[in-house]
Amino acid sequence: MRTTITTLLLLLLCAPARAAQTLQVYFIDVEGGQATLFVSPSGESLLVDTGWPAAGGRDADRIVSAARLAGVKQIDYLVVTHYHMDHVGGVPQLAARIPIRTFVDHGPSVESGPQADQLVAAYKSVRDNGKYLLAKPGDRIPIRGINVQVLTAAGEEISKPLPGVGAPNPLCAGAKRKDHDPSENAQSIGLLITYGEFRMIDLGDLTWNKELGLACPNNKIGTVDVYLSTHHGLDLSGAPPLVHALHPLVAIMNNGARKGGTPEAWQTVHTSPGLEDIWQLHYALESGKANNAPEDFISNLDEHCQGNWIKLSAEPDGQFTVTNSRNGKTKTYQPSAQ
């Protein structure tokens, strides 16, 4: 009887801890590609993209290392935002290291040619071994514990504003469009990840005109707490009417040492109303100090680096903490009154 009572007491004591579990997000350094690992409070995992098909499986190894730190033994959902080398190229190497249960993509590629065809074929050869979901705007990826909504896919965006938002966006006045982008970038799956009051957006490499489709003439998304800089901080993306309307408290930039983090895109984020900090995976070598975050907020300062990551932990009340694995720099942010 004593053992039973002790066990029951332990279960009761542990129950609040389980209920208070956080959403964990690892922004993994894949040298200017994307690999973002979400671990739901339910324990299920969602990985957005897999980085490059690097020699020796560098990016796959970095993803698996982050998964182990998070206590993840499989990838429950892999979202391939679009078919470019720095996003889908690492799938075969990753699948050889950790089980991938369900694959999510936007459908056929709009690019063709020997390299593009080979890239998609290599991905599909792995995808065919698992379950498959075709993402469409408005869909939800059924990961337990968090809400993951598809905002864009295959060149389309949600047709109506999300519940509770949709006001006219005054930032659209005079907004200029750029040349039409026929590439896979414009086909990117874009996601809104919500955990209680916490909201984060990841639009893959969605390009300028498609971003305007989400923001103009009405803001279809509302505001977010965390903005993962679109397209690694390249100025092909990051339209101010969208970035500023999102009103992020924090931005994370998944740039490389010599890719992304361009001055124009960085300053668009930096001048967004209400922004407190930008955290970067790399110091942008060609942009200068005026267009880089303070060193404490950058996880890799040198071009040849150890692949340090940035971690975000979010609570259901909207509070979240960001940590730089290079130096242990940690900062907690309170829910924004937006």
What's the pLDDT tens digit per position in 58-77? 999 999 999 999 999 999 99
pLDDT, position 10:
38
What's the pLDDT tens digit per position in 117-168? 999 999 999 999 999 999 999 999 999 999 999 999 999 999 999 999 999 9
Q: Are 82 and 185 in contact (CB under 8 A)?
A: yes
pTM: 0.93
What's the pLDDT tens digit per position in 70-109? 999 999 999 999 999 999 999 999 999 999 999 999 999 9
pLDDT, position 259:
96
**Architecture of the domain defined by 21-333:** 4-Layer Sandwich (3.60)
pLDDT, position 55:
86
